[in-house]
Amino acid sequence: MRKGKVTRKTKETDVTVEIVLDGSGITSVNTQIPFLNHMLDLMGRHGLFDLTIDATGDIEVDYHHLMEDVGLTMGTAIAQALGTKEGITRFGSARVPMDETLSEVIIDLSGRPYLVYNVPFTDPTVKDLQVSLFEDFFRGLTNNGLFNLHVRLHYGRDSHHILESIFKAFGRALSEAVRIDPRIKGVPSTKGSL
């Protein structure tokens, strides 16, 4: 079973993430931010990852610390679960519609963190949550997960729908990239390492 479990404690946050890559989409997510809980639940269910997240933080100050630290911790847990990366497909992509919205996520588990986030929003918030914080979440995720991630909004109007489409697409793309292909011997790289 490919599983990662990581705890990150700072003066600002306390985050524990457990992920099973070969799961069935069972999730239990509590971050103190209901909308983030909803997005991470969608990611786990559509990627078929078993995902448990318990996170608290100084949300009375701002949501930024908690959002970023959940991303950092999840990235580390994914990297831990991938282990040596032997036999993985490595690349994954998904396009997912959500009503008027269409987004695309492409991932390369290359060992080289890089984020391209092309997501313009018409509304700056969903309820009281700044949507710009999701770029910080994904940056922390890619930096600690050590992968290349491209997130692109093709079109969309409603910020909730945009983010829902992105998180579903991310789950599906990551699921494709971590899949084991029995034809791949070692890691899928001409360098011999990822």
Contacts of 114 (CB under 8 A, 6+ apart): 142, 148, 149
Nearest to 178 by CA among 105, 79, 112: 79
The answer to whether residue 11 is domain-embedded is yes
Complete DSSP assignment for 160-178: HHHHHHHHHHHHHHHHHHH
pLDDT at 11: 97
- Interhelix angle for 64-82 vs 133-145, to 10°? 30
Considering Cα of 110, then 112, then 30, then 159, what sign does the dihedral take?
negative
Nearest to 19 by CA among 71, 72, 74, 89: 74
The answer to whether residue 127 is domain-embedded is yes
Domain count along the chain: 1
Range of the domain at 93: 3-178
The answer to whether residue 185 is domain-embedded is no
The answer to whether residue 187 is domain-embedded is no
| CATH number, position 116 | 3.30.230.40
The answer to whether residue 16 is domain-embedded is yes
The answer to whether residue 194 is domain-embedded is no
CB atoms within 10 A of CB 116: 12
Beta strands in the chain (DSSP E): 3-9, 13-20, 27-30, 50-57, 91-98, 101-108, 114-118, 125-126, 129-130, 148-155
What pTM was estimated for this model as a whole? 0.97
The answer to whether residue 77 is domain-embedded is yes
The answer to whether residue 190 is domain-embedded is no
pLDDT at 190: 86
45, two tokens: 């269910």
Mean pLDDT by 10 residues, the chain (194 residues): 97 98 98 98 98 97 97 98 97 98 98 98 95 98 98 97 98 98 92 85
Element (H, E) at 47: helix 34-47
d(CA 64, CA 60): 11
9, two tokens: 């404690």
